[in-house]
Amino acid sequence: MRQISIVLLILQFPLNIIAFAQDTEGKKSEILEVHPNVVLILADDQGWGDLSLHGNPWIETPHLDGLARTGVRLTNFYVSPLCAPTRASILTGRYSLRTGVVSVSKGLENMNTEENTLAELFKANGYKTGIFGKWHNGQHYPNRPNDQGFDEFLGFSAGHWSNYFDTELDHNGKAIKTKGYITDVLTEAAIKFIETNKEKPFFCYIPFNAPHSPHQVPDRYFNKYKAKGLNDEIASIYGMVDNMDENVGRILNYLNKTGLEKNTVVIFLSDNGPNGTRYNGHLKGIKGSVHEGGVKVPFFIRWKDVVPSGKTVSTPAAHIDIYPTLLELCKLEPLSGKSIDGISLASLILQNGEEMKSNRNLFAHVNFMTLPITLNAGSFRNDQYRFVFEKDSPHLYDLEKDSAQLQDLSPRMTNQTEQFLIQYKQWFTTVTSDLTLDRSTILSPAGVELPVYEAILTPGIKFKEGHGWAHDWVEKWDSTQDSIYWEIDCIKSGKYRIELDYLCKPGDEGSRIECSLGNIKKEVAVNPAFYSKQIPSPDRVPRKEAYEMSEWKKLLLGAFTIPEGKHLIKIKARQVAKANVAEIKCLRVVFEDN
């Protein structure tokens, strides 16, 4: 009860404080009555240490450093250990496990459509809303960006993208070919959106995919860091961050040139720790870890002449606080429905007074595409301690005295550790109480493409890359005992054509595949043989993700009358002609007019 009363007390303050801010001369001035614009920039896999501001001796990030120094910098800001959970919490103000987001692929990244997103909040308050970059909270109706409140979308919805040069992106549901390097392209689209809507309030969300792998970056950035003696992987990552920094500078310069910066809140942060071992200060852990290094990220906020310039805030805060903070800063009418886990940081950001002891536990949990979801691994940070639960064991660190987490205090502070373990278990039970793992994909007359990495595979079938991340495909399928199936939820009964994309090496053709839906089964032969080439990739180092193939052959499995409701679509080998049935990319379900 003590924690709840303190949170309520914090929430009372901003209502009196927000009407005023310190101007450049230190005098109080009234905040503009109009709703400010918001530009929310999110980096992908940029660690706390990937900034020159944070002591990195190699990287150069002058624009991000400048943003931090001319606004407020939250020096203890926390997110989730992986991409999709962080994005769900930013968008909703709620812990990701409440939103249905538990991991990064296989549908476990899908956010419940009933969640209130920042885009829906801003749109309901008269804003134009746009997203330019990586969504990663669902790629099928009704979980896509345009379904969740965004008027404009250019980017991709899965966990990563395969090609950063002259690539094909999703523009409001249609694939378009782009020209140039992806971070430049996304920035140009964001600036165009701002230009188009500069007479209205706008919410512009720019979730860049840099510096997420694959490590692709233009030569001038890569060569710059190779010249500093860095290896190919670090040089490419720092080059990607350098390019992103320049693009952040383009956005800030545009806001300045047009006078929009005086009524625009700009926020920058990253979605988790670094995607590999590199400079990260003295923080323990990397992406995927629930220790400091996996969840502590940069957070800068600027609103010219409103937010104090050069202020730092050490009070711990988190991704769940962005939604309620923007709700208050922008003077928005709240949406009814879901409760918010975060609190508004408006008073902390705006005032020049003492920082407050929040006495909050800021939780983290990681799940690597395995089910069921368990307590392992999780943690929380409060004003003094980080409690960690992993490998069925609790650990405790005093961050005020040991920010590098060198000394585990749990053997000595057994009572405190036990109390923290109880709190962590209570939190986990609460946020997972309504969690369902129903990942059926909606089938409408618009049809749907079902990638194989979202399917359920029996053990004998193997992925090309191995993890089943986005864009992976089935490579090994050599037994009639194995099958692949998807669960769909048909919202309009009718006749649908089912086909699959396949590759089959010469000599392997002739295997027979059965496609079944309910009691209806149809069998076809895998013919003809067809195998394409891998698309040349400008990766600086071998990628962790699957590469792209230049072309896939379509195989018609048959027409099915599908009634409304949930069904399994299953494909099974009835006969294996030679070494392999086929390599499978996706299943496509297409509505046919009766």
Please state the domain extents for the chain: 34-359, 365-431, 441-592
Pairing of strands 128-134, 311-313: unpaired
Catalytic residue among 35, 54, 83, 204: 83
Catalytic residue among 54, 63, 136, 365: 136
Smallest Cα–Cα separation from 134: which of 573, 540, 477, 470?
470
CATH number assigned to the domain with residue range 365-431, chosen from the 4 options 3.30.1120, 1.10.20, 3.30.70, 3.30.390: 3.30.1120
Residues comprising the chain, all counted:
594
Contact 325, 348 (CB under 8 A): no
In the chain, count of helices (H) and strands (E)?
A: 13, 31
Distances (CA, A) of 315 to 86, 256, 328, 439: 20, 30, 19, 38
Identify residue 420 by its one-letter amino acid code: F
Q: For the chain, which ranges sit under pLDDT 50?
A: 1-32
Q: Give the 3-state secondary structure percentages of the chain, helix then strand then coil, rounded to 5.
A: 25, 30, 50
Q: Decide if domain 34-359 falls under CATH 2.70.170.10.
A: no
Distance CA 563, CA 151 (A): 32
Whether 515 is catalytic is no
pTM of the model: 0.93
Q: Where are the alpha helices (DSSP H) in 100-231?
A: 118-124, 182-196, 219-226
429: helix, coil or strand?
helix
Pairing of strands 494-503, 553-562: antiparallel
Which structure tokens are listed for 421? Answer: 């373990």
The model's pLDDT over 89-114, given as tens digits with 9 standing for 90+, comes to 999 999 999 999 999 999 999 999 99
Q: What is the pLDDT of residue 1?
A: 32
Phi, psi at 329, each rounded to 5°? -60, -40
Identify residue 87 by its one-letter amino acid code: R
592: helix, coil or strand?
strand
Query: Could you give the maximum distance between any two Cα atoms of the chain, in Å?
Result: 81
Tokens 């004003």, residue located: 383
Contact 285, 293 (CB under 8 A): yes
75: helix, coil or strand?
coil
HSE-up (13 A, CA, CB side) for residue 246: 13
Distance CA 149, CA 154 (A): 14
DSSP letter, residue 499: E
Whether 35 is catalytic is no
- DSSP E strand boundaries for 289-403: 296-297, 299-302, 311-313, 317-318, 362-365, 378-381, 385-390, 393-398
Distance CA 189, CA 123 (A): 19
Q: How many CB atoms lie within 10 A of CB 565?
A: 12
Distances (CA, A) of 23 to 157, 304, 470: 40, 9, 47
Distances (CA, A) of 188 to 100, 479, 522, 592: 32, 49, 48, 39
Distance CA 337, CA 299 (A): 28
CATH T-level topology, domain 441-592: Jelly Rolls (2.60.120)
Identify residue 464 by its one-letter amino acid code: K
124: helix, coil or strand?
helix
Distance CA 235, CA 247 (A): 18
Residue 574: Cβ-neighbour burial (10 angstroms; 0-12, 13-18, 19+): middle
Residue 353 CB partners (closer than 8 Å, separation 6+): none
Q: Where are the alpha helices (DSSP H) in 231-318?
A: 232-258, 292-295
Smallest Cα–Cα separation from 136: which of 159, 162, 163?
159
